[in-house]
A and B are shown apart, each in its own frame.
Chain A
Amino acid sequence: MADVRKIVLDIISDIAPDEDITELDDQKSLREQLDLDSMDFLDIVMELRKRHKVEVPQEDYPRLATLASCVTYLSPKFTVA
């Protein structure tokens, strides 16, 4: 089974290389803990598609708010793939 948490963190560290992602709280919003804006969230979505062929429709962007919600939302998509 894919490690969705690690996949998301790998993407974040590539799109925002200056951010410290070692001590993130999975339950807290990523935006609150990191300097990420809507443009960065678009990049997370685009990288998921590019690297893992996982599609996130625009109306589902809010479901990427925390690391925990990313795992909940994205895991089934990885299992199917």
Chain B
Amino acid sequence: MNYDAIVIGAGMSGLAAGIRLAMFDKKVVIIEKHSIPGGLNSYYQRKNTDKGGIRQFDVGLHALTNFIKKGEKGKPFSKLLKQLRLSYDDFKLCPQTHSKIVFPNHELKFSNDFELLQTEVQEKFPAEIDNFSKLVEVVRAFNELDLTIGYSSSRETLKNYIKDDLLLEMILCPLLIYGSAWEDDMDFAQFVIMFKSLYFEGFSRPEGGVRTILSLLMKRLEDCGGEIRFKTAVSEILTDGEGKAIGVKVLNEEILAPIVLSSIGYPETVKLTSKLEVRPRVGAMTFLESIFVFDKKIPLNVNDSTIVFYNNAPTYSYRPAKDYFDKTSAVVCFPDNYESNRLEGEGTVRITFMANYEQWASLPKSDYMERKEQVSESAMELVKKLNPQFDGKLLFKDIFSPTTIERYTWHLNGTVYGSIDKTRDGRTPVKNLYIIGTDQGFLGIIGSMLSGISMANLHGLMSAE
């Protein structure tokens, strides 16, 4: 079969790239190994054994970053809507109440109104407010979309502005755990993307969760005439005599196209080529998530935050756990606290801990359940610590580990934020083969979609002229 373009992976970036190419009459096929779309932001369901029926869960989605109000212009989310010609209302966004960063004896709240964070810094770190304002100006003026910027350390850059170590740690904490492939630090360009996405713009969640976004994208792809093949694994990226990508091999079939966009990760993509001398490094950051379903929601007077970034130490250690997991810090998501999501009924809490891939991968099968049980106990302790007066009864729990992530997403070592070697212009050592998604360097769901869009524009639409 011959196409104008092949996209590997039907996650957020792959779907967005596929739509862009199909919109302008390119014959495009998306090839997905899994049976459903979403990649790292997919979904699943479990039987409700008590009442019959099923419970629906999202895999990755705690929060959709880059919140905008209807009609707001010039923001990543509004660019995405325009580029994919989707309507704001179809996303059915439920904004967060507020979120908070909780360190020993210190808390900082932030919301979709940046003023709240400024006020919090002023009240809690009065000596730092001018420094913080300077940092904010630097972030505002920074052009993070410039594809030519090299790596620079966020910690080093931040030290030029923020003198109070605790404040520096608290500002970094949510930005690291919501997107950094690097340990204990992140590229400053990515820091800026994250600062704008989380603090300037904020969080929301589509009603219906990630399924709402995925069904919008799938519908749009279909309307534009894009094809998608599920349960199909690419075994090789084919090249011609000059080493240019000319297509992919799936089972016994060769699918040919003059360009291939891969969303499966930089190291994962290179492994499918013959350029084995190039070795983008696999990131070390991977996570464990516990999902609890209670018989009722946590009352708002007990906890009204949407996301809690918890750290029980004066510094924030963002690196693989020494043991199976690290309970010093966690992200706790209360999805019921997205506005207008608060219907009567069961309550859900999601707790993410940093994990250690090697430990989980080498664990004998017989010990796996027991280890997960320990994670679940620590997660429940934390829920109780954060909501001391809550007496809800646990109806259901589920824990996914780094090996679960690897099994369903095929990301090496269960990484969530990809390689520490990004390729910002999408280029790879193989001509006509481009990287889209997290390893191109944009982050989060919105970032991934914008990555797919901009790489499809740059390499699929503009260069075709």
Contacts and interface: CB of A to CB of B under 8 A. Distances in A.
Contacts of A40: 82
Contacts of A16: 82
B465 A58 contact: yes
Contacts of A39: 79, 82-83, 453-454, 457
B53 interface: no
Contacts of B51: none
A49 B24 contact: yes
B451 to A, nearest CB: 13
B71 interface: yes
A58 B457 CA distance: 12
Given A15-B82, A50-B24, A57-B465, A42 B457 contact: yes
Contact of A42 (B25, B73, B461): B461
A7 B83 CA distance: 19
Nearest to A46: B24
Nearest to A34: B73
Nearest to B83: A39
Contacts of B23: 46
Interface string A2-18: 00000000000011101
User: Interface range on chain A: under 10, 10 to 19, 20 to 34, or 35 or more?
Assistant: 10 to 19
B159 interface: no
B465 A37 contact: no
B465 A50 contact: no
Contacts of B74: 35, 37
A55 B465 contact: yes
Contact of B25 (A14, A50, A57): A50
Nearest to A14: B85
B457 A37 contact: no
A43 B332 CA distance: 41
Chain A interface mostly helix, strand, loop or mixed? Answer: helix
B141 interface: no
A14 B457 CA distance: 18
A35 B73 contact: yes
A40 B83 CA distance: 8
Contacts of A14: 85
Interface string A40-80: 10110010011000010110000000000000000000000
A37 B450 CA distance: 14
B75 to A, nearest CB: 10
A35 B465 CA distance: 25
B461 A18 contact: no
B462 interface: yes
Contacts of B79: 37, 39
Nearest to A18: B71
Nearest to B24: A46
A18 B74 CA distance: 12
Interface string B444-465: 0000000001100100011001
Contacts of A35: 73-74
B71 to A, nearest CB: 6
Interface string B400-422: 00000000000000000000000
Interface in B1-57: 23-25
Contacts of B83: 39, 43
A43 B85 CA distance: 11
Nearest to B457: A42
10 A-B pairs with the lowest CB-CB distances in the bound complex, closest first: A35-B73, A46-B24, A42-B457, A50-B24, A35-B74, A39-B83, A57-B465, A50-B25, A58-B462, A16-B82
Given A16-B82, A46-B23, A58-B462, 20 more contacts: A14-B85, A15-B82, A15-B85, A18-B71, A18-B73, A35-B73, A35-B74, A37-B74, A39-B79, A39-B83, A39-B453, A39-B457, A40-B82, A42-B457, A42-B462, A43-B83, A46-B461, A50-B24, A50-B25, A58-B465
